[in-house]
Amino acid sequence: MSKKETYVADIALLLEGTYPYVRGGVSSWVHQIISGLPELKFAVIFIGGEPEMYDKAQYQFPPNVTHFETHFLLDSKRYPTKSRRGNKKAFDEIGELHEQMRDQNAMPVETMMRAFKQLGAKNGVSHEDFLYSEASWDYITEQYRSRCTEPSFVDYFWAIRTMHAPLFVLTEIAKTLPKVKALHAISTGYAGLLGAMLRLQRGTPFILTEHGIYTKERKIDLAQATWIRDYNDDVSNTLHDEMGYIRGLWIKFFEQIGRMAYAQAAPIVSLYEGNRLRQIADGAPAEKTKVITNGINLPRYEKVLQVRKEGIPPVLGLVGRVVPIKDIKTFIRAMRALLDKLPEAEGWIVGPEDEDEDYVEECKELVRSLGLEGKVKFLGFQNVADILPQLGLMVLTSISEALPLVLLEAFASGLPCVATDVGSCRELIEGSGEDDRALGAAGRVVAIADPEATADAAYALLSDGAEWRAAQQAGLQRVKRYYDDQMMFAAYRQLYVDTLQTDSAPEAASGGR
Amino acid sequence: MAGIGFEIRKILERDSYWDVLKAYGYAGLVSGGPWVLSILGVMAIGVLAVVLGVAQTHVNAFQICVTYLMALSLIWTGGMQLMFTRFVADQAYAKAQADVLPNLMGVLLLTMAGGFLWSVPVVALMFSGSLLLRLLLIANFVVLSGLWLALIFLSGMKAYRRIVRTLATGYLLAILIALAFSRWQLEGLLTGVLIGHSYLLFAFLRHIIREYPGQTFLRFDFLERRKSFYSLFAVGTLYYLGVWVDKFIFWFVPYTSEPVIGPLRASIIYDLPIFLAYLFILPGMAVFLVRMEADFAEQYERFYRAVREGDTLMHIEYRRDQMVYTARQGIYEIFKVQGLTVVLCLLWGRDLLAAVGISPLYIYLFYIDVVAVSVQVLLMAILNVLFYLDARREVLVITLSFFLSNLVLTSATLFLGAETFGYGFAVSVTFSAFLGLFMLSQKFNRLEYETFMLQQ
């Protein structure tokens, strides 16, 4: 076709709540990929929650970012609140769709296409119709009557509203997005759904890479979410309804949109074998899945290794955002336990503190109440390369991880690690295949939320020079052999080239059972 | 439900006919009190002044002056009354009580000073009497304008008993001073009501200032509302225009009226029966107060609590049904009680007119006026429910229809002849009440939908 020049980019990266506004593993990975593949042009499509949640961009775009859009899912346009009838028929069709979502694992493509066509359309369910129409009200109340087991109608009502409002924003994005040759979502969720929408509407090839497992992380968030009211009266509470209806509704919603993304995406990439299996369990067709592991820029960390002084500094570093999922509190408690045996030890928490200020305050309060002032330090966001040579151990207490780059960075700069048994941490520390395992352990793996075990592992490594050095060598070997970023770039280069070549007509992926 | 509703409830719970009668009598006094006391007060001054030897022409002029002053001050302040009541309610909801008093001062300053500014040239140009008379007219108008605002504010505070007590004292004072000054004829009588009304204004203000905390003295926040609040202003003005427009028509059409003083005219045939009829709204007003302030307000509160505090949809609907039921019961009871009043007036109306010394020629007009003012009580009840539901658009439509239909139909009766007099007002108020019922029913049917889907 002669319209080649109208493409704004080769790859549109669909990013939910990360790059370029929020620092973290996924964001630095995205930056790495864009910088590592300078011959491709990228469009960055950022999808956030509310505008207030994000400050200015945290990354400077490499020159091959040719297009950038920012959208907010909860920045609902102010429509005049006016009563309206709404399209009864369109709501009936949405009802059918919901029925199918409940019944089946994978949805027929035609149903999905019809649903996306309805959304936001004038003759379907417009955003205003969804918000204000009688048809919408009738449908919501009917659903509540026949399904909701919880007392509060107002909670149900707002759950339904906040759950669906973003879909209308997504249809807007899909409508206005300039042409790109391929789509690449870095999570399922709303970004993945946008990918599925665009794939169905335009036939643009759609690649999905998952670092963490979005649905699982949402489940953790939702289990802790205090904005959902709990109705736990002792009379009606039985064992199986520990989770309220509305919490369950949210989880089912994310599972379902995750499945929609899996049905449309090809290939579906994960960072390690464990997550690949999880994707399959969550509905991803096995033949479309593949693993491309993360890699880091080795020469850069070689320099860091050279700066490292002789001896083992008694300093434990936790590099990551100060948020509940990193379980900073377990790290702090472990420091308390460790100090009894190793009084000269220190714990440094290195990472941005602006995401969850309440949690940051709780952590600092915990430090005070355990009498750890001066021993546990919050250093804020730092250049990791400056910090690494001063540490004696990298510690990761997360309750959920995918493939944490900090572990690779630690290995490459000659630093053993203690990490919880989450994501690919065990593979990273102990090795996955036979050859890999033969390299030895690059540290120790501990159970989640176990400060004692964490302290013991840290003590063992810090107090035994021989084990520490063996772990250092294992880490250095492993990262060089398996986690070189040049390998990752090559894999993605190949993947993009393959995708851009397959002239993906909208044969509309067979739904994928 | 605090205040009057609670007290009435307590009396009612004693459960004897005598107590029920007492409760409703009390409620009637409290709710219809201002109306009735002012009519009775002015009538008493007139009757006693004649006894004391004031010329009948002066007494007539006095009564007409007071009637005009009341009509014009009500129309002048009607919009502000509603707008300000809403402002106060919002402040109370937002727990910003400290802003209420300075804003009351603001609204008083605005209406009183504004009223002064426009009444001075009007009185100066249109009246040729003594300077004292003209000053008295202006002063009375300004004081009344302030008084209505203070009164509606106290009603909002549900200080009904104090209102009635103070009103009784105030009108007693007005009567005494008017009679003491009766040798100065019209000027003396007007001084009497001026002092009576001034006493009321200051007594009310004293009470308000003592009850409400406030740091600043003067604020005008009530004007900085979103535009929709001006619809309340329109509603208040239209309602009083609707109530008075038929009277004004009769006053200013030459063949039904005659000049009394300056530009002020009166309609002998029309005025007496209708003001007499207004004395018969007391039973309906009593029911109105009990049903609306006690029962409906409580059900309304329960409905919104169910919505806010997360009840099931079924329970919210049950609460809606209960609210509809109390509203329907209230309206039905007003209908019954006023119906009975109408029947009694039909039976004894002739004797009544004879007893007060009014020509039996007025009887048919009196009959239709009793019906009309009875329906007006119904209309007020319906508007009140709609106010609770914040149905500003509906209320605007109803008051507009009331004003326009009264204007058109009353004018029509002037062409149709004397036997149709009064029907204009009666048909207009009935039509508006039915329109109100229809809109109220619509509103109730869509209440949950509107409450959830159309909130701002």
Of A385, A419, A380, residue with least CA distance to A399? A419
Residue A239 binned pLDDT confidence (cut-offs 50, 70, 90): very low
Percent of chain A with pLDDT over 90: 54
Mean pLDDT of A133-137: 91
Q: In terms of DSSP H, where are the helices of A181-297?
A: 189-202, 214-224, 245-264, 273-281
Q: Is residue A92, in this structure, part of any structural domain at all?
A: no
Cis peptide preceding A389, ω within 30 of 0: no
B448 vs A contacts (CB less than 8 Å): 137, 141
Structural domain for A14, as ranges: 1-76+173-295+484-512
Minimal CA separation from B328 to chain A, in Å: 25
Euclidean distance between CA atoms A343 and B220, whole angstroms = 66
Contact A83 B453 (CB under 8 A): yes
Residue A136 CB coordination number (10 Å): 27
Residue A238 pLDDT: 45
Residue of B nearest to A82 (CA): B454
Contact B453 A151 (CB under 8 A): no
Minimal CA separation from A31 to chain B, in Å: 41
Q: Does residue B65 surpass a pLDDT of 50? A: yes
Same domain, A330 and A270: no
Q: Which of B311, B450, B456 sits opposite A83 (nearest CB)?
A: B450
Question: Which residues fall within 8 angstroms of residue B183, CB to CB, at 6 or more apart?
Answer: none
Q: Is B226 exposed, middle or buried (0-12, 13-18, 19+ CB in 10 A)?
A: exposed
Residue B352 binned pLDDT confidence (cut-offs 50, 70, 90): confident
Q: Each residue of B68-80: pLDDT tens digit? A: 999 999 999 999 9
Contact residues of B toward A, CB < 8 A: 307-308, 310-314, 316, 446, 448-450, 452-456
CA distances in angstroms from A24 to A27, A336, B137, listed in the order given: 5, 27, 78
Euclidean distance between CA atoms B71 and B244, whole angstroms = 7
Q: Which of B311, B453, B454 sits opposite A151 (nearest CB)?
A: B311
B455 vs A contacts (CB less than 8 Å): 81
Strand ordering across the sheet containing A417-420 = A376-380, A346-350, A315-319, A393-396, A417-420, A443-446
Here the tokens at position B258 are 């005659």
Residue of B nearest to A151 (CA): B312
φ/ψ (deg, to 5) at A402: -105, -95
Residue B5 pLDDT: 61
Residue of B nearest to A144 (CA): B313
Same domain, A57 and A201: yes
Residue A104 binned pLDDT confidence (cut-offs 50, 70, 90): low
For residue A67, what are the β-bridge partners? A43
Q: Which of B446, B452, B456 sits opposite A157 (nearest CB)?
A: B452
Same domain, A303 and A408: yes
Q: Is residue A496, in this structure, part of any structural domain at all?
A: yes
Of A410, A374, A411, A395, residue with least CA distance to A454? A395
Residue of B nearest to A134 (CA): B449
Q: Each residue of A486-503: pLDDT tens digit? A: 999 999 999 999 998 875
Residue of B nearest to A161 (CA): B453
Residue B342 pLDDT: 92
CB A294 within 8 A of CB A281: no
Contact B452 A81 (CB under 8 A): no
A153 vs B contacts (CB less than 8 Å): 310-313, 316
CB A345 within 8 A of CB A423: no
Contact A153 B312 (CB under 8 A): yes
Percent of chain A with pLDDT over 70: 93
Q: What is the dihedral of CA A445, A446, A448, A449, to 10 degrees?
A: -140
Which among A47-51, A110-114, B142-146, B280-284 has the top mean pLDDT? Answer: B142-146
Percent of chain B with pLDDT over 90: 37
For residue A206, what are the β-bridge partners? A183
Q: Is residue A143, in this structure, part of any structural domain at all?
A: no
3 state SS of A399: coil
Residue B1 binned pLDDT confidence (cut-offs 50, 70, 90): very low
Residue A90 binned pLDDT confidence (cut-offs 50, 70, 90): confident
Of A400-414, B25-39, B346-360, where does mean pLDDT reach its minimum? B25-39
Q: Mutate which of B304, B307, B312, B315 to disrupt the A interface (most A C-beta within 10 Å)?
A: B312
Of A140, A193, A186, residue with least CA distance to A166? A193
A82 vs B contacts (CB less than 8 Å): 454
Which among A145-154, B177-186, B431-440 has the top mean pLDDT? Answer: B431-440
Same domain, A207 and A276: yes
Contact B455 A81 (CB under 8 A): yes
Contact B313 A82 (CB under 8 A): no
Residue B362 pLDDT: 82
Q: Mutate which of B390, B453, B456 to disrupt the A interface (most A C-beta within 10 Å)?
A: B453
Contact A144 B452 (CB under 8 A): no
Q: Does residue B108 surpass a pLDDT of 90? A: yes
Q: Each residue of B208-227: pLDDT tens digit? A: 888 887 778 888 888 876 65
Q: Which of B316, B452, B455 sits opposite A137 (nearest CB)?
A: B452
CA distances in angstroms from A496 to A7, A205, A273, A293, A490, listed in the order given: 16, 10, 21, 16, 10
ipTM over 0.90: no
**A469 vs A226 pLDDT, higher one:** A469
**Sign of CA pseudo-dihedral A296, A300, A305, A307:** negative
Here the tokens at position B65 are 């002056």
Same domain, A239 and A273: yes
Residue A1 pLDDT: 44
Q: Does residue A228 surpass a pLDDT of 80? A: no
Helix (H) or strand (E) holding A350, with range, is: strand A346-350
Same domain, A34 and A183: yes
Contact residues of A toward B, CB < 8 A: 81-83, 131-134, 136-137, 141, 144-145, 151-155, 157, 229
A416: CATH: 3.40.50.2000
Give me chain A's average pLDDT, please: 87
Mean pLDDT of B35-39: 80
Strand ordering across the sheet containing A180-185 = A65-72, A42-48, A9-16, A180-185, A206-210, A268-270, A289-291
Same domain, A282 and A332: no
Mean pLDDT of A4-30: 87
Q: Mutate which of B313, B314, B392, B445 to disrupt the A interface (most A C-beta within 10 Å)?
A: B313
Q: Does residue A507 surpass a pLDDT of 90? A: no
Q: Mutate which of A152, A154, A228 to disrupt the B interface (most B C-beta within 10 Å)?
A: A154
Return the residue matching tokens 């449309």. Answer: A264
Looking at chain A, the number of H-run helices and the number of E-run strands are 20, 13
Residue A5 pLDDT: 55
Residue A493 pLDDT: 94
Residue A511 binned pLDDT confidence (cut-offs 50, 70, 90): very low
Residue A474 pLDDT: 95
Residue A371 binned pLDDT confidence (cut-offs 50, 70, 90): very high
Residue of B nearest to A156 (CA): B310
Minimal CA separation from B393 to chain A, in Å: 12
Strand-strand pairing, A315-319 and A346-350: parallel
Same domain, A465 and A498: no
Here the tokens at position A64 are 């091959």
CA distances in angstroms from A137 to A86, A87, A131, A334, B306, listed in the order given: 9, 12, 9, 52, 18
Cis peptide preceding A20, ω within 30 of 0: yes
Contact A81 B450 (CB under 8 A): no
Q: Is residue A239, in this structure, part of any structural domain at all?
A: yes
CB B382 within 8 A of CB B440: yes
Q: Each residue of B416-444: pLDDT tens digit? A: 988 888 999 999 999 999 999 999 999 99
Q: Each residue of B153-177: pLDDT tens digit? A: 887 777 777 788 888 899 999 999 9
Here the tokens at position B252 are 């200013």
Minimal CA separation from B66 to chain A, in Å: 45
Q: What is the dihedral of CA B347, B351, B356, B358, to 10 degrees?
A: 90
Q: Is residue A179, in this structure, part of any structural domain at all?
A: yes
Same domain, A277 and A310: no
Residue A494 pLDDT: 94
Residue by residue, DSSP assigns A75-90 as ---------B---HHH
Residue A240 binned pLDDT confidence (cut-offs 50, 70, 90): very low
Helix (H) or strand (E) holding A291, with range, is: strand A289-291
Minimal CA separation from A149 to chain B, in Å: 10
Of A333-337, B160-164, B177-181, B451-455, where does mean pLDDT reach its minimum? B160-164
Minimal CA separation from B394 to chain A, in Å: 14
Here the tokens at position A83 are 């009563």
Contact B311 A152 (CB under 8 A): yes
Residue A510 pLDDT: 42
Q: Which of A131, A137, A153 sits opposite B311 (nearest CB)?
A: A153
Same domain, A291 and A437: no
How many residue pairs from chains A and B have C-beta atoms closer than 8 A? Answer: 45
Based on C-alpha coordinates, what's the Rg of chain B? Answer: 22
Give me chain B's average pLDDT, please: 86
Q: Which of B448, B449, B456 sits opposite A81 (nearest CB)?
A: B456
CA distances in angstroms from A363 to A220, A360, A372, A387, listed in the order given: 19, 5, 11, 21
Q: Which of A81, A82, A154 sits opposite B307 (nearest CB)?
A: A154
Longest dimension (CA), chain B: 71
Euclidean distance between CA atoms A242 and A237, whole angstroms = 7
Residue of B nearest to A137 (CA): B449
Same domain, A429 and A335: yes
Residue B406 pLDDT: 95
Contact A132 B310 (CB under 8 A): no
Contact B450 A134 (CB under 8 A): no
A229 vs B contacts (CB less than 8 Å): 310
Residue A119 pLDDT: 83
Residue A277 pLDDT: 92
Residue A433 binned pLDDT confidence (cut-offs 50, 70, 90): confident
Minimal CA separation from A138 to chain B, in Å: 8
Of A175, A92, A176, residue with least CA distance to A138? A92
Same domain, A347 and A428: yes
Residues in chain A: 513
Here the tokens at position B160 are 């009904």
Euclidean distance between CA atoms A355 and A240, whole angstroms = 33
Residue of B nearest to A154 (CA): B310
Q: Is A195 exposed, middle or buried (0-12, 13-18, 19+ CB in 10 A)?
A: buried
Euclidean distance between CA atoms B307 and B211, whole angstroms = 32
Mean pLDDT of A357-367: 94
Q: Is residue A109, in this structure, part of any structural domain at all?
A: no
Q: Which of B310, B452, B456 sits opposite A152 (nearest CB)?
A: B310
CB B270 within 8 A of CB B256: yes
Contact B310 A145 (CB under 8 A): no
B456 vs A contacts (CB less than 8 Å): 81
Of A307, A339, A285, A290, residue with least CA distance to A451? A339
Residue A71 CB coordination number (10 Å): 19
Domain boundaries of chain B, sorted by first residue: 3-228, 275-454
